[in-house]
Amino acid sequence: MAKKDKHVSETPATQMLRAAGIAYSEHPYDYVDHGGTAESARQLGVPEHAVVKTLVMQDEKAQPLIVLMHGDRQVSTKNLAREIGAKSVEPCKPEVAQRHSGYLVGGTSPFGLRKAIPVYVEASVLDLPRICINGGRRGFLVGMAPQVLVALLGAKPVHCALAG
């Protein structure tokens, strides 16, 4: 079987996207520890605002949730909690996030999660013409229309961004 040139190995995320017939582009880059979206945006030559980070958080009952946020913005956990009707929301510890999502921190994708987790997306992300989001491993983003987040994941729009 011939290997495709520059094809990134399958991930649960790319399997889910392909099975759903979603058009996406592949954007591998050199992963840098703690480089975050600033580093991937720099290497790929895209605005950091259009690089969407996948954050695994939990509510006061330790129920997991995913927040999709612009790379150059932070989440207001207070505003998020208010919008989703939780008492409080906080980021999961890395090992807990990994257990919930099935992905290594730094390679977390909202697609192909280990189990069903509610997904929330900063509403202004949906206004972008195109986004880059993690494709299921470190150093690998996929590009797509942001409406896929709602159509495929049922992501609920929220207003919880803090200016970066």
Distance CA 107, CA 62 (A): 22
Q: What angle do CA 18, 39, 16 make, to 5 degrees?
A: 10
How many CB atoms within 10 Å of residue 156? 15
**pLDDT in the model for residue 5:** 43
**pLDDT in the model for residue 8:** 63
Distance CA 153, CA 61 (A): 23
**pLDDT in the model for residue 42:** 97
Domain boundary assignment for the chain: 27-162
DSSP one-letter code for 118: -
Residue with token string 């290497």? 43
Q: Which CATH fold topology does 27-162 show?
A: YbaK protein (3.90.960)
> Is the pLDDT confidence value at 11 over 60?
yes
For the stretch 13-50, pLDDT in tens is: 999 999 999 999 999 999 999 899 999 999 999 999 99
Cβ 44 vs Cβ 141: under 8 Å: yes
- Judged by average pLDDT, the poorest of 1-15, 45-59, 92-106, 132-146 is 1-15
**Residues comprising the chain, all counted:** 164
Question: Phi, psi at residue 59, to the nearest 5°?
Answer: -90, -175
Q: pLDDT band at residue 1, thresholds of 50, 70 and 90?
A: very low
Q: pLDDT band at residue 9, thresholds of 50, 70 and 90?
A: confident
Cα dihedral across residues 34, 54, 97, 22: positive or negative: negative
Distance CA 125, CA 60 (A): 26
